[in-house]
Amino acid sequence: MFNKILIANRGEIALRVIRTCKEMGIKTVAVYSTADRDSLHVRFADEAVCIGPPSSKDSYLKISNIIAAAEITNADAIHPGYGFLSENATFSKVCKENGIKFIGASPEMIDSMGDKSSAKQTMRDAGVPTIPGSDGLIESLEHAKELAVEIVYPVILKATAGGGGKGMRVVNSEDEMESAWEMVKREAGAAFGNDGIYMEKFVVEPRHIEIQIAGDQYGKACHLSERDCSIQRRHQKLVEETPSPYMTPELRERMGEAAIKAALAVGYEGVGTVEFLVDKDRNFYFMEMNTRIQVEHTITEEVIDYDLVKEQIKLAAGEPISGRNYYPTMHAIQCRINAEDPYKNFMPSPGKITDYHCPGGHGVRIDAHAYAGYVIPPFYDSMISKLITVAQTREEAIAKMQRALDEYIIEGIKTTIPFHQKLMKDEKFRSGNFTTKFLEDWTM
Which residues carry out catalysis? 292
Which lies closer to ligand MV4 via its Cβ, residue 33 or residue 338? 338
Report the alpha-carbon distance of residue 223 to residue 24 in Å, rounded. 24
Among 10, 62, 79, 208, binds ligand MV4 (CB under 6 A): 208
Which lies closer to ligand MV4 via its Cβ, residue 118 or residue 217? 118
Q: What's the min distance (Å) between Cβ of 158 and ligand MV4?
A: 7
Q: Are 267 and 291 in contact (CB under 8 A)?
A: no
How many CB atoms within 10 Å of residue 245?
A: 17
Which lies closer to ligand MV4 via its Cβ, residue 92 or residue 232? 232
Report the alpha-carbon distance of residue 265 to residue 28 in Å, rounded. 34
Q: Which amino acid is at 136?
A: G
Q: Which helix (H) or strand (E) holds 212?
A: strand 207-215
Interface mask toward ligand MV4 for 131-160; x: CB under 6 A: x------------------------x----
Among 232, 294, 334, 415, binds ligand MV4 (CB under 6 A): 232
Q: What's the min distance (Å) between Cβ of 156 and ligand MV4?
A: 5
Binding span for ligand MV4 by CB under 6 A among 38-46, 57-65, 162-170, 258-266: 162-170
Among 17, 287, 330, 339, binds ligand MV4 (CB under 6 A): 287
Helix (H, G, I), strand (E, B) or coil at 176: helix
Which lies closer to ligand MV4 via its Cβ, residue 288 or residue 311? 288
Interface mask toward ligand MV4 for 385-424; x: CB under 6 A: ----------------------------------------
Which lies closer to ligand MV4 via its Cβ, residue 165 or residue 378? 165
198 binds ligand MV4 (CB under 6 A): no
92 binds ligand MV4 (CB under 6 A): no
Q: Are 412 and 353 in contact (CB under 8 A)?
A: yes
Binding span for ligand MV4 by CB under 6 A among 195-203, 211-219, 347-355, 410-418: 195-203
Q: Is the peptide bond before 243 cis (omega within 30 degrees of 0)?
A: yes
206 binds ligand MV4 (CB under 6 A): yes
382 binds ligand MV4 (CB under 6 A): no
Which lies closer to ligand MV4 via its Cβ, residue 241 or residue 288? 288
Q: What's the min distance (Å) between Cβ of 426 and ligand MV4?
A: 18
363 binds ligand MV4 (CB under 6 A): no
349 binds ligand MV4 (CB under 6 A): no
Interface mask toward ligand MV4 for 421-440; x: CB under 6 A: ---------------x----
Among 12, 87, 195, 200, binds ligand MV4 (CB under 6 A): 200
167 binds ligand MV4 (CB under 6 A): no
Q: Would you say the C-alpha torsion 382, 386, 387, 391 has a positive or negative sign? A: positive
What is the DSSP code string of 276-330? EEE-TTS-EEEEEEE-S--TTHHHHHHHHT--HHHHHHHHHTTPPP-------SS
Report the chain's terminal Cα–Cα distance, integer Å.
49
- b vs e for 28-60, b when ≥16 Cβ sit within 10 Å of the residue's Cβ? bbbbbbebbeebbbbebbebbbbbbeeebeebb
4 CA to centre of own chain: 25
Q: Are 322 and 215 in contact (CB under 8 A)?
A: no
Count residues binding ligand MV4 (CB under 6 A): 17
Among 102, 198, 202, 326, binds ligand MV4 (CB under 6 A): 202
Q: Are 240 and 227 in contact (CB under 8 A)?
A: yes
* Touching ligand MV4, residues 249-278 (CB under 6 A): 277
Binding span for ligand MV4 by CB under 6 A among 198-206, 322-330, 350-358, 405-413: 198-206
- Where residue 214 falls (left for φ over 0; alpha for ψ -120 to 50; beta otherwise) is beta
165 binds ligand MV4 (CB under 6 A): yes
Report the alpha-carbon distance of residue 126 to residue 106 in Å, rounded. 20
What is the DSSP code string of 21-66? HHHHT-EEEEEEEGGGTT-HHHHHSSEEEEEESSSGGGTTT-HHHH
Among 6, 113, 128, 203, binds ligand MV4 (CB under 6 A): 203
Report the alpha-carbon distance of residue 13 to residue 38 in Å, rounded. 16
33 binds ligand MV4 (CB under 6 A): no
Long-range contacts of 106-110 (CB under 8 A, 24+ apart): 106/269, 109/266, 109/267, 109/268, 109/269, 109/291, 110/291
Among 269, 288, 341, 381, binds ligand MV4 (CB under 6 A): 288
Which lies closer to ligand MV4 via its Cβ, residue 208 or residue 400? 208
Question: What residue ranges bind ligand MV4 (CB under 6 A)?
Answer: 131, 156, 163-165, 200-203, 206, 208, 232, 235, 277, 287-288, 436
